[in-house]
Copies of this chain bind each other. A is one copy, B any other.
Amino acid sequence: MTAPRAPIELREFPRPDLPPGAALLRTSRSEVCGTDVHLWHGRLSGVPYPIIPGHVSAGVVDAARGPIHGLDGSTIREGDRVVFFDVHRTCGRCRACTVHRTPTRCSARRVYGITDSADEGLFGGWSQAIYLEPGVALARLPDAIAFDDYIGGGCGLLTAVHIVERAEIRLGDVVVVQGTGAVGLSAIALAKVAGASRIVAIGAPADRLALARDMGADVLLDLARTTSEERRQAVMDATFGEGADVVVEAAGAAAAVPEGLDLARVGGRYVIAGHYTDVGPTTINAHHQINRKHLEIRGCWGSEARHFLRGLSILERHPSIPFRTIGARTYGLHELNDALADAEAMRIPKALVDPWQTAA
């Protein structure tokens, strides 16, 4: 990706030298997520184009220099199937890292596929090889988990682990999830795994809602066929007229916020996780929707290494969750522009990338 809105170009890179503790990965799968569309739209500031996109990826170790220890306690060897946490550097020294413990806002934070120029090396998954610098948090992909399962979950799964932590979902909670994109679908699955007694999904179109049902939603509300008031009524009907214990915003639409505030019960929690870019202002009523409701609203930004590991353990524990179906289609390197176009048009929940796939 050479510049915003420019077509993806294919380039060849030299094979990097590996310092001790580094590894080279033969990419098996990467993904096109919403962030990649934002990158392509030029909506993120400070991106050092040209970049190799693809922040969550998986592959097989092609070369490793010295013993490399996985964050899962494993020792990584050549030939291992591995996955890694996309945030490869935070400074550990600044006020965000040490005083406030908000490393997701460290100014030195670097993320595969987003913050590193292609001039610096193979720091993105839309490439046949990925350079894993020393200290990257990685783990073996358990044999039972297919690459398509892992990348089907992908960054949406990590975000959903963070959302569930932030929402403090408790055994028996009623949970509403606004949005049935990759993040929303994963949040539905994890809310169920975390013990929610009932999960209401709000989204569109019909095939996404069918996917939401497969992920664990009990009640499906189609944005295209219901009014906001009808959705509110449906949630009240499911909650003794009280509203949900937890509402998760994974819609990225300004109108979702006031609706979500109305769907939470008095004393409930509302996690806002879908506003990753600026989609404009939102109008709320602080008396009715916050103060009088004694509500808690919690923004949720980025994820940390623990979410990555917890996501892996969930994939291993719950093989029946159809994460792979989120990855609707797999694109080769020559089809990346199609992949971006399909993702932009939201024709598919998520596009997977197989950089070794040859054109049909």
Contacts and interface: CB of A to CB of B under 8 A. Distances in A.
Contacts of A168: 168
A298 interface: yes
A84 B328 CA distance: 48
A98 B304 contact: yes
B287 A285 contact: no
Interface in A278-304: 278-288, 290-302, 304
Interface stretch (A9-17, A100-108, A206-214, A222-230): A100-108
Interface residues of A, number: 79
B297 A296 contact: yes
Interface string A210-254: 000000000000000000000000000000111000000100001
A290 B281 contact: no
A352 to B, nearest CB: 24
A172 B318 CA distance: 11
A67 interface: no
Q: How many copies of this chain sit in the oligomeric assembly?
A: 4
A251 to B, nearest CB: 10
A93 interface: yes
A51 B172 CA distance: 34
B298 A276 contact: no
Given A164-B171, A299-B293, A266 B102 contact: yes
Interface string A295-333: 111111110111001100110110000000000000000
Given A71-B95, A100-B266, A294-B301, 16 more contacts: A93-B135, A99-B306, A102-B266, A168-B168, A171-B190, A171-B194, A172-B314, A190-B195, A197-B316, A275-B286, A275-B287, A275-B291, A278-B285, A282-B283, A282-B284, A294-B300
Enumerate the 6 nearest inter-chain pairs by beta-carbon distance, A residue then B residue, closest first. A73-B240, A172-B310, A92-B92, A275-B291, A98-B305, A297-B297
